[in-house]
Amino acid sequence: MSAKVKRALREVGLTQYEANAYQLLIERGPLTAKQISLGAQIPYSKVYETLTSLGKKGWIEQEGKRPCKFLPKSPETALKTMKNSFEDHWKQSEKAIMDELVPLYEKMKTREKYDIWIIKGTLNINYKFKEMAKNCKQEMLIAFPYIPDEFLIGLYPLLHPIAEEGLRLCFMVCKGLDENVYKALSRIGEVKFRTKMFGGGVISDGKEVLLLFTDERGEVSAIWSDHPGLAALAKDYFNYLWREPEEPKPRGIQN
């Protein structure tokens, strides 16, 4: 038997002892375990283990009793049996890997992939805000510097369900807020006034941030991101202002 064929037998899954035993049986026909041990140079303590393995893999079969003899199956039959067995094991392994590791990989990709969007127009911002509110699990920190009252009123229907679920809502607003808007926000969360705020927006669970700003024409735009660094920075700034001593409420606004 050529070195090429010996290597091929090893590559399809036979051990060296198994390849030697099969080669001997192909050349000499049915043999006893003792004859195989001597002829294939397999230690007698290993020969039955080798022959049992060859039988399970579909390369040999056993005939007779005491002493039984072993004879080779055709290479075509043996290869087909091993191929089918390999494909069955492959499918089982593939299913196990796909079921358990693919979801973990997808989560890993999600954690590593962050987006930054520029959103223009009140309708688009409201849509993104609604999406953030739907996904919120713990708290929303909201700052509104110099945002039109009608814009704030439009957000109220989005925030009310969150408050009913017991999630924390914190509003930081500038003086000049309409009293009706203040009362509406107070019913669903805690409100604090600040004379100066450099920017505003929404932070959801410390994971998503929606930064609001107005252009020279007074149109509202926003930057949204799920980048943890940006969200953490925005939350730290919000909490810094939130912890400052509370400023008095503007005239006309009652507790």
pLDDT digits (tens, 9 = 90+) for 137-186: 899 998 877 655 566 666 777 778 878 888 899 988 877 777 777 788 88
pLDDT tens column, 190-229:
888 887 766 688 999 999 999 987 766 767 788 999 888 8
- Nearest by Cα to 241 from 207, 210, 195, 203: 195
The token pair that represents 236 in the structure block: 């730290």
- Quickly name the fold that domain 116-243 has: Endonuclease; Chain A (3.30.870)
* pLDDT (0 to 100) of residue 50: 95
pLDDT confidence tier of residue 111, bands split at 50, 70 and 90:
low
Q: Which residue has the higher pLDDT, 151 or 2?
A: 2
Once rounded to an integer, what is the mean pLDDT over residues 7-25?
92
Domain pair 1-113 / 116-243, same fold: no
Average pLDDT, the chain: 84
Q: Where are the domains of the chain?
A: 1-113, 116-243
Once rounded to an integer, what is the mean pLDDT over residues 230-253?
79
Task: Say which CATH architecture domain 1-113 belongs to.
Answer: Orthogonal Bundle (1.10)
**Position 9 pLDDT exceeds 80:** yes
* pLDDT (0 to 100) of residue 228: 85
* pLDDT (0 to 100) of residue 174: 78
